[in-house]
Amino acid sequence: MSDVEEIKAKIDLVDFIGKYVPLKKAGTNYKGLCPFHVEKSPSFMVSPDKQIWHCFGCSRGGDVLKFVMEKEGLSFPEALQLLADMTGTTLSKVATGGIDKRKNLLSINELAAKYYEKVLEASAEGRKAQDYLVDRGLKIETIKEFRIGCAPTNGRAVLEFLQKRGIGAPEMEAAGLVVMKGRYPKDKFFGRVMFPICDSQGRVVAFTGRVLDDKGIPKYLNSPETPIFKKGEILYGLHLAKESMQKLGYAVLVEGQMDVISSHQAGVKNVVAASGTATTEAQIQMLRRYADKLVLALDADNAGVEATKRIFEIASRFDMDIKVALLGDAKDPDSLIKAGGNWQEVLDKAVPMMEYYFSVAIDKFDTKELDGRKALTKELLAVIAEVNDPVEKDHYLKKLSSLVGVEVRALYDAVAKPLIKKPFAGDKKEDKGGDKVSPGWLEERIMALGLFRPELLELIVPKAKTLKWASGLANTIYEAVVSCYTSPDLFNLEQVMNKLPDYEKTAVLELLLVVEESYQDATTNELAHEVQLYLGMLLARSVASKRQELVLAIAEAEKANDRDRLNQLMNQLSELN
Ligand SMILES: [Zn+2]
C-alpha cells in the first residue's frame, strides 16, 4: 500500500469534513454548505463509499488530500505530512524528500519562538518589553495568544540557546535567525520585542522585531525570506482569523501587526495584515479561500489611500465584494480601538469603494473654493466614468452634482468623453463559468455515464472507438473499460477501477459522484438520449475541425498547383458535407 492509500484508509472522509462543515445525509451521500464558496443552499457533497467530495457550485472536488490542500492552503507534500501526523503514519523517504528541510526550519523557528517567549516572561529585560506592550494597551492573554516575545540585547543569546540544542549556525542562518559577521555568527534580532509570523497552520515561519525605545534603527526588522517564508504569501494573523472569517463570511485587511492584535483583543477576530509588504495577488487569493467579502481598513494616510485603490483592483479580479472602513480621525485601527472607538461598528458601517472615493476627495479638497471644487470634480469624474452600471453611475453623478453645485447634465457630458482609459475591474468576468462544454468535458461525461449505467456502454463503446480523445482522463477510462468489457450484465466497476492508474482513481471517483448526483432519477432511456446528444456534439466538433483542416490543405494545394492532391482533397470535403 502506498503512503497515500495508507493514510486514506485511516480516515473517514465524512467524519473528517464534518469537523469543518456540518453535513446532512441526503440519499447515499452527505450534503453541506460549501466551505470554498459562499452559498445559501448546499451544493457540497461528500460520498462515504467513494471517499470523495465535490461541490456542484464551484466545481472543486477530490479526495481528503485535496480537501486539506484547498482548506489549509497547503502543497501536496505538506497536506500529506499533515495527514500523516494526524493518523500516525510514517511517510516513506520518497514522499518526504522536499519537506525535510522545511520541517527543520520550522522546528528551529519554533524553538526560537519559545525562547523569546520565555525571555519576555521571566527576565529583567523581558519585563521591560512586557511593560512596553502593556503600555501599548495589550493584555497578558493577548501577548500569550500572539506569542509575543523578547530578544535579549546580548547579540548571541539565540545563537547559544540553539547551539545547546545541537543546531548548527548554518541552519540558524538558513532560518533567518542568525547573520554572519565576517566569520562569526551573531543574532539577527537583539534588544527587540519579537512578533512571530505564522503560516495558516499557526507554525512560526518568521519574526518581526520592534525596537523598545524609538531610537533604535530600523524600528521594525523582519526575517529575511527563507524556504518557509515568502513575504508576499503570508498574512499576519491568518491562523487566528480564518475560522471567524468563514463564520462571518468576510475578511478584514489592515496594515500593521498591531492593528491585528488590538482588533483581536477587542473581540474582532476576522482580521489579518499583509505586514511588511504591499498586498499581493497571492495574499488576496488566500483570503478568497475563507471569505468572498473583504473590508479594507488601511492607514488613513496617502499611502493607505493608494494601497486601498490598488487592493481594490486586485480583489475585484477575484470577484470579491469589497468595502472600505472609514476610520474618521483615527490614523489606523489600532489607534481607533485605543481611543475607545467601536471597531465592530466601524466595520459594520464600511462603505462601497465609490463612497470611499468621495470621502477621500472631500477630505482632500476645499469645496468652498472654486479651484477645490474643480479639482474634486475632475478626480471623482475620473472614477465615476469607470462605473459600468448605469443606475449606479447616475446615483454618483447626482451625488457629485449636489456636492459641487454643477448641473447633472453637464457632468453627464463630461463622463461621456473618455477621461482616462484603463482596464478596470468589472469587465473581467467573461471567462467565469464560460465554455464548460469543451470536447474533454463531453468525453468525460460520456465515459462517466457509462460507468454509472453500464447498459449505456453498448452505445458508447463502439462510438468511442473513433474518437480522437481530447481528455486523457476519458481516454484512460475508455481503455480500462474495453480491456475488461464483454457485456453490460458482466460489467464490474471494481474491475475497471483496478485497471486505472492510481493517480487517476480520485478523478474518476469524483466524476462518478457528479453523474450520480446529477442523474440519480433519470431513466436509462433518458440517459441514452443524453449520451447521444453528447456524442453528436463531439462528432459535430470533429467534423468542423476536419473541414477546417481540409479547407486549409486545399488552399495549399491550389497554391502549389498540385492537381491530383487538389482533387483528392475536394473529394474528401464533399464526403464530409
Ligand atoms: Zn463550492
- CA of 296 from ligand 1 middle (Å) equals 24
> Within a 10 A sphere around the Cβ of 124, how many other Cβ atoms?
8
- CA of 273 from ligand 1 middle (Å) equals 26
- CA of 31 from ligand 1 middle (Å) equals 12
Closest CA to 444 of 357, 513, 498: 513
CA geometry: angle 355, 358, 360, nearest 5 deg: 110
**Peptide bond between residue 152 and the one before it cis (omega within 30 degrees of 0):** no
Angle, helices 563-576 vs 524-560, to 10°: value is 160
- CA of 15 from ligand 1 middle (Å) equals 19
- CA of 24 from ligand 1 middle (Å) equals 16
CB 241 within 8 A of CB 270: yes
- CA of 70 from ligand 1 middle (Å) equals 11
User: What is each CA distance from 264 to 267, 325, 385, in whole angstroms?
Assistant: 5, 17, 39
CB 34 within 8 A of CB 46: no
- CA of 22 from ligand 1 middle (Å) equals 14
d(CA 425, CA 91): 45
Closest CA to 277 of 222, 326, 228: 222
d(CA 332, CA 255): 8
Grid coordinates belonging to 570 = 475536394
Q: Decide: residue 485, CB within 10 A, 0-12 exposed, 13-18 middle, 19+ buried.
A: buried
- CA of 350 from ligand 1 middle (Å) equals 27
- CA of 32 from ligand 1 middle (Å) equals 10
- CA of 60 from ligand 1 middle (Å) equals 6
- CA of 515 from ligand 1 middle (Å) equals 17
pLDDT tens for the 577 residues of the chain, in order: 678 888 999 999 999 999 988 999 998 999 999 988 878 889 999 999 999 999 988 888 999 999 998 888 777 878 888 899 999 888 875 545 556 778 889 999 999 999 999 999 999 999 999 999 999 999 999 999 999 999 999 889 999 999 998 888 888 999 999 998 877 899 999 999 999 999 988 999 999 999 987 777 888 999 998 888 988 889 999 999 999 998 898 999 999 999 999 999 999 999 999 876 788 888 998 898 888 899 999 988 888 888 998 898 888 877 788 999 999 889 999 999 999 999 999 999 999 999 999 998 998 888 888 888 888 988 898 888 877 778 888 899 999 998 888 888 878 777 764 433 333 333 333 333 334 467 888 899 999 999 999 999 999 998 888 888 888 889 999 999 998 888 777 888 888 988 888 778 888 999 999 888 888 888 888 899 889 888 888 888 778 878 888 888 888 888 888 888 889 888 888 887 7
- CA of 55 from ligand 1 middle (Å) equals 5
3-state secondary structure 452-479: HCHHHHHHHHHHHCCCCCCCHHHHHHHH
3-state secondary structure 483-533: HHCCCHHHCCHHHHHHHCCHHHHHHHHHHHHHHHHHHCCCCHHHHHHHHHH
User: What is each CA distance from 488 to 107, 494, 528, in whole angstroms?
Assistant: 56, 14, 14
